[in-house]
C-alpha cells in the first residue's frame, strides 16, 4: 500500500512535527557514529527548502532514572545536526511546557528545532514508551503537520509515533521511512528471483519468525552463526559444546521438514576448544567433535553459499556467520559480505547491527543497495508483521 510522503505535503509556513531516529551512540557528550543523523537529513532539508518549520522529536537510549538524563540529552545531537545542515538549530531542553511552546511559536520559516529526548517522559509512568494518550495529543497540538521518518522505532507503539499520528488528520512518511518500506517491502512482497536470504546470529529464537515467513517467498535460505547448531541438533548431528537452544530443537525439525532443500546449512565449521580467539581451532565437516564448539562456518560452506549467491537477484542478509568479533572466526561473515558486495545485478539488503558493521569493515557498504537503519524493525518487517509506526501513516 502506497503511503503519503513528506513531498506530498505543502509544508510552507507550517509547523511540521517530525519523528526522526537520532538514537545514536553518545559517550561523555561525544557522538560515536552520526549515521542516523545523516540518514534523517533529506527529510529535514526538504522542509527547510520548502519554507516549513521542522520540529524534531527523537528518543535516545533508555531513561530509567533522573541520573540517566545527563548522558541522554539530545543537545549534542542538535549541535551535530547544526554542523551537518550548516545552519543554526534551536535545542529545547524540555519535552513539554512554556519554554517549548514559546520556542516553537518563535520559529521562522526554514528554522529547525530539536525537542529534548522523548524518553525523558518515561520517568513519569513511561508516558512515551507506553503511548500515553494525553502525551500524544499534547505533542500533536504543537504542530500543523506530522511526518514519521523513524523506521528504527516503527515496530513500537510510542507517543511520538503512533500517539501523534492518531491525533493528526494525516501522517506522512519521511524519505528514509519511504526508502525502508520500498526496499524491505519489495523484498518481502515482490522480490526478483532467485531470492536468497542469509540469516545468522546467535539465536534461532530471534530469527524463527523471519525463516517461517521467508520459507514460502525465498528460493534459498542460507543459515550460519550460532543458530546453526540448534538445526544440527535437530538433524541428529553432534554439536559438542556449540551454542544450542534445546527448547527450539522441535521447531527446528519442523522448519527443516517444511523448507526442504531451500534451507542450506553449513557443511563444515571452524571449531575451537574455548570461546576465545586464541583457543586451538580447526575446520571439521559435519559432526562437531566432543570438547569443541563451532564458532564460524568453514571454507566449503563459504564456497557453497557464494555459489548460491552468484545467480541471486534479491538478497537479504541479517546476522553474522560466526563470532566475527574475533579475527579467527570472522572469515565466514567477511567472505559472505564480500560476495554480497560483488553482486552487480541484484538488489542487496542488509539489516541488523552486526551485518552492517561487517559491511562497513569490508568497505562494501556503498555497493549494497540498501542498508536498513532499523535492526528490530527490519526483522519484524521481514517476519511479515504490520509495524504499528507504519500502519499509523496515512495510505494514499
**Closer Cβ to ligand AMP, 335 or 354, answer by number:** 354
Contact (CB, 8 A) for 237 and 287: yes
With residue 223 as reference, give the H or E element that holds it.
strand 220-223
Name 296's Cβ contacts closer than 8 Å, sequence gap at least 6. 269, 270, 321, 322, 323, 324, 328, 329, 330, 331, 332, 333
Q: Distance between CA atoms of 114 and 22, rounded to whole angstroms?
A: 10
| Alpha-carbon span 339 to 198, nearest angstrom | 12
Smallest separation, CB 271 to ligand AMP (Å): 9
Alpha-carbon gap, residue 315 to 37, rounded angstroms: 26
Instruction: Show the binding pattern over residues 97-136: x = contacts ligand AMP (CB under 6 A), - = does not.
Output: ----------------------------------------
Segment contacting ligand AMP (CB under 6 A): 117-125, 126-134, 182-190, 317-325?
A: 317-325
Q: Which residue in 33, 99, 258, 325 binds ligand AMP (CB under 6 A)?
A: 325
Q: Of 226 and 389, which has the nearer Cβ to ligand AMP? A: 226
CA gap 352, 367 in Å, rounded: 17
List CB contacts of 294: < 8 A, sequence separation 6 or more.
Answer: 228, 229, 239, 240, 242, 269, 270, 271, 288
Establish whether 125 is a catalytic residue: no
Question: Which of 130, 137, 203, 367 is labelled catalytic?
Answer: 203
Choose which of 243, 358, 359, 382 interacts with ligand AMP (CB under 6 A). Answer: 243
Of positions 114, 323, 340, 343, contacts ligand AMP by CB under 6 A: 323
Residue nearest to ligand AMP (CB): 201
CB count in 10 Å sphere of residue 12:
11
Q: Which is nearer to ligand AMP, 22 or 324 (CB)?
A: 324
354 binds ligand AMP (CB under 6 A): yes
Task: Give the one residue of 191, 320, 374, 388 binding ligand AMP; rule: CB under 6 A.
Answer: 320
Residue with smaller CB distance to ligand AMP, 243 or 265:
243
15 has catalytic annotation? no
Is 36 assigned a catalytic role? Answer: yes
The CA-based diameter of the chain, rounded to the nearest angstrom, is 70
Question: Does 203 participate in catalysis according to the annotation?
Answer: yes
Site for ligand AMP in 272-311 (CB under 6 A): 294-295
- Interaction with ligand AMP in 181-240: which residues (CB under 6 A)? 201-203, 206, 225-226
Catalytic residue chosen out of the listed positions 36, 119, 248, 331: 36
* β-bridge pairing 26-27 and 30-31: antiparallel
Grid cell, residue 166, equals: 492518531
3-state secondary structure of 3: strand
Instruction: Give whichever of 52 and 319 is closer to ligand AMP, judged by the CB atom.
Output: 319
Instruction: Quote the CA–CA distance of 71 and 360 in Å, as a whole number.
Output: 27
The catalytically annotated residue of 286, 353, 363, 396 is 353
Q: Which of 51, 276 has the CB closer to ligand AMP?
A: 276
Q: Give me the catalytic one of 110, 209, 375, 376.
A: 376
Tell the smallest beta-carbon distance from residue 183 to ligand AMP (Å): 20
Nearest-approach distance from CB 33 to ligand AMP, in angstroms: 18
Q: CA torsion, points 268, 269, 272, 278, in degrees to nearest 10?
A: 130
- Which of 379, 392 has the CB closer to ligand AMP? 379
If the CB atoms of residues 174 and 225 are measured against ligand AMP, the closer one turns out to be 225
> Minimal distance in Å, beta carbon 195 to ligand AMP?
21
Least separation in angstroms between residue 207's CB and ligand AMP is 7
Closest CA to 164 of 127, 131, 137: 137
Q: Which candidate, 211, 158, 146, 210, places its Cα nearest to that of 23?
A: 158
Which residues, other chains included, contact 191 with Cβ-Cβ below 8 Å and sequence gap of 6+? 217, 218, 313, 314, 347
CA distance 229 to 236: 10
C-alpha cell at 120: 525523558
Applying CB under 6 A, which of residues 52, 76, 191, 352 lies at the interface with ligand AMP?
Answer: 352
Which residues belong to the active site? 36, 203, 353, 376
Where does this chain bind ligand AMP (CB under 6 A)?
Answer: 201-203, 206, 225-226, 243, 294-295, 319-320, 322-323, 325, 352, 354
Amino acid at each position: 500500500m502506497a503511503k503519503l510522503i513528506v513531498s506530498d505535503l505543502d509544508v510552507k509556513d507550517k509547523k511540521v512535527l517530525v519523528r526522526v531516529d537520532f538514537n545514536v551512540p553518545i559517550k561523555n557528550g561525544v557522538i560515536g557514529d552520526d549515521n542516523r543523523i545523516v540518514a534523517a537529513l533529506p527529510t529535514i532539508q526538504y522542509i527547510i527548502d520548502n519554507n516549513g518549520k521542522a520540529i524534531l522529536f527523537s528518543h535516545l537510549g533508555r531513561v530509567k532514572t533522573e541520573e540517566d538524563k545527563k548522558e541522554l540529552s539530545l543537545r549534542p545531537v542538535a549541535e551535530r545536526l547544526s554542523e551537518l545542515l550548516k545552519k543554526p538549530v534551536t535545542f529545547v531542553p524540555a519535552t513539554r511546557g512554556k519554554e517549548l511552546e514559546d520556542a516553537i511559536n518563535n520559529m521562522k520559516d526554514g528554522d529547525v528545532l530539536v525537542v529534548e529526548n522523548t524518553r525523558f517522559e518515561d520517568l513519569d509512568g513511561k508516558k512515551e514508551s507506553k503511548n500515553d494518550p494525553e502525551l500524544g495529543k499534547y505533542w500533536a497540538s504543537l504542530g500543523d503537520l506530522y511526518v514519521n521518518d523513524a523506521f528504527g522505532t516503527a515496530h513500537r507503539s510510542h507517543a511520538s509515533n503512533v500517539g501523534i499520528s492518531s491525533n493528526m488528520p494525516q501522517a506522512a512518511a519521511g524519505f528514509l521511512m519511504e526508502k525502508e518500506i520500498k526496499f524491505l517491502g519489495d523484498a518481502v512482497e515482490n522480490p526478483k528471483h532467485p531470492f536468497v536470504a542469509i540469516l545468522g546470529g546467535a539465536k534461532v529464537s530471534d530469527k524463527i519468525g523471519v525463516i517461517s515467513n521467508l520459507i514460502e517467498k525465498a528460493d534459498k535460505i542460507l543459515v550460519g552463526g550460532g543458530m546453526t547448531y540448534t538445526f544440527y541438533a535437530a538433524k541428529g548431528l553432534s554439536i559438542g559444546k556449540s551454542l544450542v537452544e534445546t527448547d527450539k530443537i522441535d521447531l527446528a525439525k519442523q522448519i527443516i521438514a517444511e523448507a526442504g532443500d531451500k534451507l542450506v546449512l553449513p557443511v563444515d565449521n571452524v571449531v575451537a576448544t574455548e570461546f576465545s580467539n586464541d583457543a586451538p581451532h580447526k575446520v571439521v565437516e559435519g559432526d562437531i567433535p566432543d570438547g569443541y564448539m563451532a564458532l564460524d562456518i568453514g571454507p566449503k560452506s563459504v564456497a557453497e553459499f557464494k555459489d548460491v549467491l552468484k545467480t541471486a537477484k534479491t538478497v537479504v542478509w541479517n546476522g553474522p556467520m560466526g563470532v566475527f568479533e574475533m579475527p579467527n572466526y570472522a572469515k565466514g561473515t567477511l567472505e559472505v559480505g564480500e560476495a554480497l558486495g560483488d553482486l552487480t545485478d541484484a538488489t542487496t539488503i542488509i539489516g541488523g547491527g552486526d551485518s552492517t558493521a561487517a559491511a562497513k569493515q569490508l568497505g562494501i557498504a556503498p555497493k549494497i543497495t540498501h542498508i536498513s537503519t532499523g535492526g528490530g524493525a527490519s526483522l519484524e518487517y521481514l517476519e511479515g508483521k504490520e509495524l504499528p509506526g507504519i500502519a499509523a501513516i496515512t495510505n494514499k
